[in-house]
Chain A
Amino acid sequence: MAFFEVSSAKKTTDLKSEYDVIIIGGGPAGITASIYAIQAGLEPLVIEKALEGGQMNNTDKIENWPGFSSISGVDLSEKMAEHAQDHNVKITNAEVVDVKPGKMKTVILDNGKEIKARVLIIATGSNPKKLGVPGEEKYSGKGISYCATCDGHFFRDKHVAVVGGGNSALDEALYLAKIVKKITVVQNLPDLTADKMLQKRIRETGITDFIYNTIVKEVKGNDKLDKLLLKNVKTDEETELDVDGAFVFIGMNPNTKFLKEKVELNDYGYIITNDHCETNIKGIYSVGDVREKEVRQIVTAAADGAIALLDASKRYFQ
């Protein structure tokens, strides 16, 4: 990441009341859809609540996006945003709080503005799942964190736990390994589920140890978190782990709260679509991690963006 990032200053504040396509979320799925919209001769608006690139901004290294053998998540995010803006895509900074379906779809922003579009593309992604155990709320922001790039530096030369053994857990652990003294990975399964290459790298840090078949049962501390109560799921044995912080990456929840009863969701809250990424409501599409699907990767998110936009352009703008 560059020492000085300018991307957050390149947003549009001057909004029109109507666009051809409104894209909620500026991650790889939304950005791709916006680029295809421009190519289709449409006027898109991307609404992003934090930074373009979405969760890529929390990813230390990306090594499976063709064209870059290795690139930081922040850099790829910035490149994608620049690409869209070079094509004259308008991106605005706001959070969508409500959506009204209809022939023209209306989105309501957290700053009270209402904007309409013929087609709406939901690319809101997902956010880290919580542990759901006692003490988690209390120590959230007091030792429990869900973002290593945000909070890692508060744990310089400290001992932290990383809860989870998948790709995001180990990627964040790798970021933390540059800062902290020791990492203990707590995984509920007998093995890590992250890519083999990532596993190798995290082992090579030499400061990481692993506890398998184990879940966090409770978060304990005084003013701040100071230990985790762990439980072995095979033996039911309980142990305490002294740590200064815990970073939780046990999976994701889709960002679909604002859509309840507006479009069809599955039991986990992911949006159900057809093969063209269209939801049960005509003219509302869903792309990327927020959509019910098997593989959630940057490339598949981008692919969704293209599929949705090309379908929408054919169906609603010809």
Chain B
Amino acid sequence: MAEQLLNKDVRKQVVEILGNMDGEVKLLLFVKDKDCDFCDTVASLLDELTEVGEKVTFEKHNIDSEVAKNYNINDAPAIVLLTPEGKDKGVRFYGIPSGHEFGTLLQDIVSFSKGALSGISEESQKKIAEIDKDVDIKVFITPTCPYCPKAVITAHNIAILNDRITASMIEANEFKELSMKYGVSSVPHIVINDSVEFVGAYPEEQFVNEVLKAV
């Protein structure tokens, strides 16, 4: 058997965290055959997660597939979370959700199992729900950045509220070209619809205001 990614201690904690799940959560993993250094790693990771969490399942698809088109996925490795009803809430992870972001993935899984309830304030929820344009939020991170999970979670919490919003965690080291394109050299670096950019884990209200600026 291949060496496991999650050691015994981490596994124990994952069991505990996923023990809080209600419904089943399906993860869609998108991979490509060439030029994907980390596709296999993410597949192994999700494999282990499904072993540990009985309410977590995953499906692997190629980015050339129809499924990838349906979810508008053009790069790999990418993870899409689905609610127990099979609904896509616009939550994406590009690259290995490793380091501090592994906790973010677990948090999202538990939240999705409970119907993907957004933790943000009612006032912000209203503002976000009213958006009637497509919004794409990219959150560039590094796994060693302690401020990044807050930014990713906030972005995901915003995406959950509106079907037209997608929020992606992007591992900057793995997606070098994309990071270069946006001149990322400090994280978290957030890009909204290619029109609004900021660096830092903004408090929720401020983050929501940046989203509103972009629409």
Q: Is the CB of B103 within 8 A of A224?
A: no
Please give the distance in Å from B10's CB to the nearest CB on chain A. Answer: 6
Contact A150 B142 (CB under 8 A): yes
Say yes or no: A5 contacts B103, CB within 8 Å. Answer: yes
Q: Which of B182-215 contact A (CB under 8 A)?
A: 183-187, 189, 199, 201, 203-205
A49 to B184: give the CA distance in the assembly, Å: 23
Q: Is the CB of B102 within 8 A of A151?
A: no
Flag if B189 contacts A141 (CB, 8 Å).
Answer: yes
* Minimum-distance CB pairs A-B, first 8: A112-B121, A8-B103, A141-B199, A9-B106, A150-B145, A57-B146, A110-B203, A9-B103
Bound-state CA distance A265–B61 (Å) is: 57
B86 beta carbon closer than 8 Å to chain A:
no
Cα separation A147 to B147 with both chains bound (whole Å): 10
Task: Give the CA-CA distance A51 to B145 in the complex, in Å.
Answer: 10
Q: Which residues of A contact B184 (CB under 8 A)?
A: 154
**B50 CB-CB contact with A under 8 Å:** no
- Nearest B residue (CB) for A52: B146
Q: Report which A residues bind B (CB closer than 8 A).
A: 1-11, 13, 49-51, 53, 57-58, 74, 93, 95, 97, 110-113, 140-145, 147, 149-155, 223-224, 245
Extra contacts, 12 of them, besides A5-B102, A141-B199 (Cβ < 8 A), are A1-B144, A3-B143, A4-B45, A9-B104, A58-B146, A93-B150, A93-B153, A97-B203, A110-B205, A112-B124, A153-B172, A154-B179
Contact of B65 with A by CB under 8 A: no
B107 CB–A CB distance under 8 Å: yes
Chain B nearest Cβ from A17, distance in angstroms = 15
Among residues of A, the one whose C-beta sits closest to the C-beta of B7 is A2
Across-interface contacts of B13 in A (CB, < 8 A)? 6, 10
Q: Are A5 and B122 in contact (CB under 8 A)?
A: no
Do A3 and B103 have beta carbons less than 8 Å apart?
no
Interchain nearest-CB distance for B100 vs A (Å): 5
A141 near B185: Cβ-Cβ < 8 Å: yes
Given A51-B146, A95-B203, A113-B121, A8-B100 contact (CB < 8 Å): yes
Contacts of B147 in A (CB 8 A): 50-51, 147, 150
Residues from chain B with a CB closer than 8 A to the CB of A143 are 185
Interface pair A4/B110, CB less than 8 Å apart? no
Pick the contact of B142 from A51, A97, A151 — CB < 8 Å?
A151
B144–A149 touching, CB < 8 Å: yes
Contact with A50, one of B106, B186, B201 (Cβ below 8 angstroms):
B201
